[in-house]
Amino acid sequence: MARAGMDVHYLRFHLHRDTDGLLTPTQRAGAAPADLPQPAELRDLLQLMAARGACKVRLVGDDPGRRADLGDLVAMLSGLEGVGEVALTTQGDGLRGRVSDLSRAGLRSVNFNLDTLRPERYAALAGGDGDGGAGRAGRTAAAGREGHAAAGREGHAAAGREGHAAAGREGHAAVWEALEEALGAGVRVKINCVLRAGVNLDEVDDFVALTQDRPIEVRFVEWNASNGQLAAPEDFVPTSAALALIKPALVHRESEPFAGPALRFEVPGHIGGLGFIANVTDHFCADCNRLTLTDRADLASCIFGRGIHLLRLLRSTAGIESVDAMIDRVVRRKMSLGARLNGWDTPGAALPATLS
C-alpha cells in the first residue's frame, strides 16, 4: 500500500551489462561482487519501493532485452507485492523467440526503440556497433594495406558495405519478429522513434500507417542528451514540426494512469495511436512521476541526476529502516521541486495535500 505523501508510482530499474546473471534468486549467494547487492538485498530494495507506491516497474539501461537473466528478473518483479505492471524498453533484437515466455513470466508492455522501418537504414540508426563482422574486417584490411591498388581497396570497401547491410537486414528482421511475437502474446507494444532532419523524416507516414491495423502506439520523441550526444541544431526536430508532418486529423487521447509524459492522440479509423514526447521544447519535470533504481543500488529522482547509494545503508546497523528514511527524503525533495515548478510555493498559493 502506498504511504501518505507518496506520489511517485513509476520506477525505472536501470540495468548494466556487467550484472547479467548476478541479480536473480536463481544465483547462489555470494555470486555477485561485494559492491553489488545480493539477490535477496535487491529484492528487499525493490519490494520497499513497491510498498511505497511504485506499482509500475520498467526495465531500462544497457538494453535489458539482450540479457540472459531477463526472464528471471521479470518473474521476480511481477511477484513483488504491489507491482501491477512490469514493462521493458529495448531495441528488440534480443527478444526474438523469447516474448511468449516473458509474457508468461509477467511482462505486460514493451517499448521498442526503432528509428527506421527500412532494413537498409537499420544498422546505421540502431546504435551500438551496428556492423557485421565483414564490415569490420573490410575496414581493417583496407586500412592496413596502403600498398594495395585502387581496385583492391574498393573490393574491401564493397565487402564492408555488404557486411554492414547484411547486419542491418538481420537486425531489422529480429526486431520485427519480436514485435509481432509481442502482439501475438497480448503484450502492449509501443515504438519510440527519434526523428532527425535529413535522416528519417521521410518515414513519418510509414510509422503512422503501422497503427492502422495493429494495436501499436508510435511515439515521436525529441532528441535529448540522455545518451550523451547532443543533436546538431539542423538535425533537431521539435514536436511542433513532427505534428505538422502528420497528415490525418488527430483526436486527443486521455493519458493512462501512471503513464509517461507523452501527448497521446488517436488517428480516426486506426486501431493503434500516436504519441509525442516533447522532452526538450516542453520538459515535463514538474509532473514527473518516476524514480530510478539501478542494479548497483543507486537511487535517483531524475535520469540526469546523480544517485544516492543505498547499499551501505542497507548493510548498516539500522538496515532497511535507514533505507526507508532515505527514500522518503528523495521523494519529498522530488515532490517539493515539482511544487515549485508548478508555482505552488508562490505567495498565496496552496500546497497540494500530499505536500502539506
Average pLDDT of the chain is 81
pLDDT interval class at 226 (50, 70, 90): low
CA neighbor of 90 nearest in space, from 109, 65, 115? 65
CA neighbor of 195 nearest in space, from 209, 180, 206? 206
Sequential DSSP letters for 89-139: EE-STT-TTTHHHHHHHTEEEEEEE-S-S-HHHHHHHS-S----HHHHHHH
Q: Is residue 298 part of a domain?
A: yes
Q: Is residue 346 part of a domain?
A: yes
Q: Is residue 3 part of a domain?
A: no
Q: H or E stretch including 14? A: strand 10-15
Q: Is residue 143 part of a domain?
A: no
Host domain of residue 73? 10-126+178-355
Q: Is residue 246 part of a domain?
A: yes
What pLDDT, in 10s, does the model give residues 95-139? Answer: 999 999 999 999 999 999 999 999 999 988 885 432 223 222 333
For the cut 90, the answer to whether the pLDDT of residue 231 exceeds it is no
For the cut 80, the answer to whether the pLDDT of residue 337 exceeds it is no
Q: Is residue 255 part of a domain?
A: yes
pLDDT in the model for residue 78: 97
Number of domains in the chain: 1
Supply the pTM of this predicted model.
0.81
Cα separation values, 250 from 66, 210, 247, 253, 267, Å:
35, 15, 9, 9, 5
Assigned C-alpha cell, 48: 520497499
Assigned C-alpha cell, 250: 488527430
Q: Is residue 313 part of a domain?
A: yes
Q: Is residue 150 part of a domain?
A: no
CATH of the domain at 310: 3.20.20.70
Higher pLDDT, residue 285 or 70: 70
What pLDDT, in 10s, does the model give residues 249-261? Answer: 899 887 776 666 7
